[in-house]
Amino acid sequence: MAKITPYPDEKTLEIAPVIAPDATLASVTDKIGGIVLRRGTTLGWILGFAFFFLMLQLLGIGVTYLLFKGTGIWGLNIPIGWGFAIVNFVWWIGIGHAGTLISAILLLLNQSWRNSINRFAEAMTIFAVCCAGMFPIIHMGRSWIAYWLFPYPNTMAIWPQFRSPLAWDVFAVSTYFTISLVFWYVGLIPDFASLRDSAKNKWQRILFACLCLGWRGSAFHWARYEKASLLLAGLSTPLVLSVHSVISFDFSISILPGWHTTIFPPYFVAGAVYDGFAMVLTLMIPVRKFYGLEGFITERHINNMAKVMLATGLIVAYGYGMEAFFSLVYANDHLEKFTMQNRMFGPYGFTYWLLIATNIAIPQLLWIYKIRNNLVYLWLISMVINVGMWLERFVIVITSLTRDFVPSSWGTYWPTLWDWVIYLGTIGLFMTLIFLFIRVLPMITMFELRVIAPKKTVKEPVA
């Protein structure tokens, strides 16, 4: 009988540490706080910011023209009532899932390695939800009365129609945004206090003093802070699962073959986490490099995130497999079967196979240790997953609508210039906010790193 080995610990596996061995309390604050408090900005930041800020202008132009002319500027038609706007909406919301997952679920699971990435991921969540939240509003024919979706007392004495998943979306997304924002802000308070203390500039001191809400670092403060974090984490955890489940109801509640699928909620959540982690990696790998944060965001983080991606990617693959199995083999429903055949082999068949390649086939390379630990490959794979998850939404939204029940009304959808302009514009918005965030807020939680800095237990860093 083989000897039962205890669960391997970090020492025996020679895993990279969660923080560089030479990090001290002071070096954490200096290094991370320094990025914010330093005078002057690097040329790289200015160029990057300028590029994405220009891209953001596309959004302004696109939305202005949209409101001026109408949703007809997009490639939408009858039967394809939803196009890029909804695809992008679901995609951005998905991206927003990593932040909450990292900060809430991993906090509850006591995964201390999350500490150096949660702030960034949370910021990313908020920015992604900003981008996402815009789409349901601008995709409406009459955006100026979008507030009718909120239950507010009015002279018409009419409520939203609560049976509609779109009414649920309003609550799901707005709750998610609010909780994420509060969670993020609460997490920032001790760091604002650190910045207040180390800022040399008067205005920065005043600003951070206001933002830190009088944090003095007393034991009471810390005790309440811990309690608040835990409560918020507890609140956010169900949200991680609920938001994308609700978004998936937009599709699964409908009767459209290809949308009307009970598997959607878990499959959407897994996809969202998958995509969220891919986006964190996409952004973090360069940021880590440019700001020399290898000591705080170590290969351990990178590796862990790659593993989460691989795991969620497998759940997504399972989802695809089950969807195909149910439709083609199990359900014995002609419409379901037809829709799946059409998705695979119809006019948009190439998007389906591209989806399989980008979301399932290529990410399997992450099984290989060397690829997982090679930053260039990993970055490329995470980009591929970002594209793949966008394609997934495209395939679901568009191909199901193109050929539904009545063959006479089948149609095609091709995005117009304005579809792309607005999509790129939201990427511009997202990246502009990310750049500003990097410059004006501590992108890594300083106080949490200070907590783990003395605890580092690893023998030697991996070369």
Partner 1 sequence: MSEHSDNPQAGNLPTVDADAAAIRKRLEGRTGRDYWRSLDEIAETPGFEDFLHREFPRQASEWNDGDGDGRRDFLKLMGASLALAGLGACTRQPTEYMMPYVTQPEDVYPGKPLFFASAITQGGYATGVLVESNDGRPTKIEGNPQHPASLGSTDAFTQGSVLNVYDPDRSQTINFLGEIRSYSSFLTGFKDIVAEQIGKQGAGLRILTETVTSPTVDAQMKDLLTQYPSAKWIQWDPIGIGRREGTKLAFGSYANPVYKFDAADVVLALDADFFISGPGAVRYSRDFMSKRRIREGSGSMNRLYVVECTPSSTGAKADHRWPLKPSEVEPFARELAAAIGGSAVAGGTWSTRPWFVSLVKDLQAHRGTGIVIAGENQSAEVHALAFAINESLENLGKTVVFTEPVEASPDNQLARLKELCSDLDSGTVDVLMILGGNPVFNAPADLDFAKKMQKARLRIRLGMHDDETSQYCQWQIPQAHELEMWGDARAFDGTVTLLQPLIVPLYGGKSPSELLAALTETPEKTGYDALRDYWQKQHTGTDFEAWWRRSVHDGMVADSALPAKSMSGAKTPTASSRQPVGPDTFEVSFYPDPYIYDGRYANNGWLQELPRPMTKLTWDNAALMSIATAERLKLWSEARVELKHGDKTVWASVWVQPGQPDETIAVHMGFGRTRSGRAGNGAGFNAYQIWTSDSTTYASGVSLRDLHQKYSIAATQHHYLIDREHGPHKDAAHQAFPADADFETAEASLRGIVRSVPLEEFQKNPNAVAELGEQPPKGLTIYPDVWKYKGYAWAMAIDLTACTGCNACVAACQAENNIAVVGKKQVLNTREMHWIRVDRYWEGSVENPTAHFQPVPCMHCENAPCEVVCPVAATVHDQEGLNTMVYNRCVGTRYCSNNCPYKVRRFNFFLYSDYVTETTKLQKNPDVSVRSRGVMEKCTYCTQRIQYAKIMSEREERRIIDGEIVTACEAACPTQAIVFGDQNDPNSRVTKWKKTDLNYGMLADLNTRPRTTYLAEIRNPNPEISALEKKS
**Position 117, amino acid:** I
Q: Which of 140, 186, 228, 287 binds partner 1 (CB under 8 A)?
A: 140
Radius of gyration of the chain from its Cα atoms, rounded to whole angstroms? 23
**3-state class (DSSP) for residue 209:** helix
Residue 354: other Cβ atoms inside 10 A: 15
Looking at residues 162 to 221 of the shown chain, list those that interact with partner 1 (rule: CB under 8 A): 163-167, 170
Minimum gap (Å) between residue 269 Cβ and partner 1: 22
Matching residue, tokens 């995609």: 91
- Strand residues in 85-145 grouped as ranges (E): none
By beta-carbon proximity to partner 1, the closer residue of 100 and 400 is 400
Q: Which of 5, 110, 161, 218 binds partner 1 (CB under 8 A)?
A: 161
Interface with partner 1 by CB under 8 A: which range of 209-217, 287-295, 402-410, 426-434? 402-410
Residue 50: other Cβ atoms inside 10 A: 12
* C-alpha of 134 from chain center: 15
Q: Nearest 5°: phi and psi at 35? A: -60, -35
d(CA 70, CA 34): 47
Interface with partner 1 by CB under 8 A: which range of 278-286, 400-408, 421-429, 437-445? 400-408
By beta-carbon proximity to partner 1, the closer residue of 328 and 365 is 328
d(CA 129, CA 433): 12
Looking at residues 237 to 276 of the shown chain, list those that interact with partner 1 (rule: CB under 8 A): 250, 253-256
Residue 37: burial class (beta carbons within 10 Å; 0-12, 13-18, 19+): middle
- Is residue 344 close enough to count as binding partner 1 by CB under 8 A? yes
Q: Which two tokens stand for residue 339?
A: 């829709």
Minimum gap (Å) between residue 112 Cβ and partner 1: 42
d(CA 299, CA 281): 12
Residue 282: burial class (beta carbons within 10 Å; 0-12, 13-18, 19+): buried
Minimum gap (Å) between residue 74 Cβ and partner 1: 8
- Is residue 324 close enough to count as binding partner 1 by CB under 8 A? no
By beta-carbon proximity to partner 1, the closer residue of 252 and 432 is 252
Q: Which of 53, 65, 148, 225 binds partner 1 (CB under 8 A)?
A: 148
Q: Which of 49, 52, 82, 208 binds partner 1 (CB under 8 A)?
A: 82
d(CA 184, CA 100): 9
- Is residue 277 close enough to count as binding partner 1 by CB under 8 A? no
- Is residue 411 close enough to count as binding partner 1 by CB under 8 A? yes
Residue 151 carries which DSSP code? -
By beta-carbon proximity to partner 1, the closer residue of 5 and 408 is 408
- Answer for the pair 277, 309: CB distance below 8 angstroms, yes or no: yes
- Answer for the pair 152, 55: CB distance below 8 angstroms, yes or no: no
Interface with partner 1 by CB under 8 A: which range of 25-33, 208-216, 218-226, 346-354? 346-354
Q: Which of 6, 408, 455, 463 binds partner 1 (CB under 8 A)?
A: 408
- Is residue 346 close enough to count as binding partner 1 by CB under 8 A? yes
DSSP 199-250: --SHHHHHHHHHHTTT----HHHHHHHHHHHHHHHHHHHHHHHHHHHHHHHH
Interface with partner 1 by CB under 8 A: which range of 94-102, 211-219, 406-414, 428-436? 406-414
Interface with partner 1 by CB under 8 A: which range of 51-59, 78-86, 275-283, 428-436? 78-86
Interface with partner 1 by CB under 8 A: which range of 263-271, 304-312, 331-339, 377-385? 331-339
Minimum gap (Å) between residue 461 Cβ and partner 1: 53
d(CA 122, CA 97): 9
Residue 22: burial class (beta carbons within 10 Å; 0-12, 13-18, 19+): exposed
Residue 325: other Cβ atoms inside 10 A: 12
- Is residue 345 close enough to count as binding partner 1 by CB under 8 A? yes
By beta-carbon proximity to partner 1, the closer residue of 261 and 342 is 342
By beta-carbon proximity to partner 1, the closer residue of 163 and 202 is 163
Minimum gap (Å) between residue 95 Cβ and partner 1: 23
By beta-carbon proximity to partner 1, the closer residue of 52 and 168 is 168
Minimum gap (Å) between residue 244 Cβ and partner 1: 18
Interface with partner 1 by CB under 8 A: which range of 177-185, 320-328, 398-406, 454-462? 398-406
Interface with partner 1 by CB under 8 A: which range of 42-50, 233-241, 344-352, 361-369? 344-352
Can you give 364-427 as a three-state secondary structure string?
HHHHCHHHHHCHHHHHHHHHHHHHHHHHHHHHHHHHHHHCCCCHHHCCCCCCCHHHHHHHHHHH
Minimum gap (Å) between residue 389 Cβ and partner 1: 22
**3-state class (DSSP) for residue 6:** coil
**What is the binding site for partner 1 (CB under 8 A)?**
69-72, 75-79, 81-82, 136, 139-142, 145-146, 148-149, 158-161, 163-167, 170, 250, 253-256, 334-335, 338, 341-342, 344-347, 349, 401, 404-412
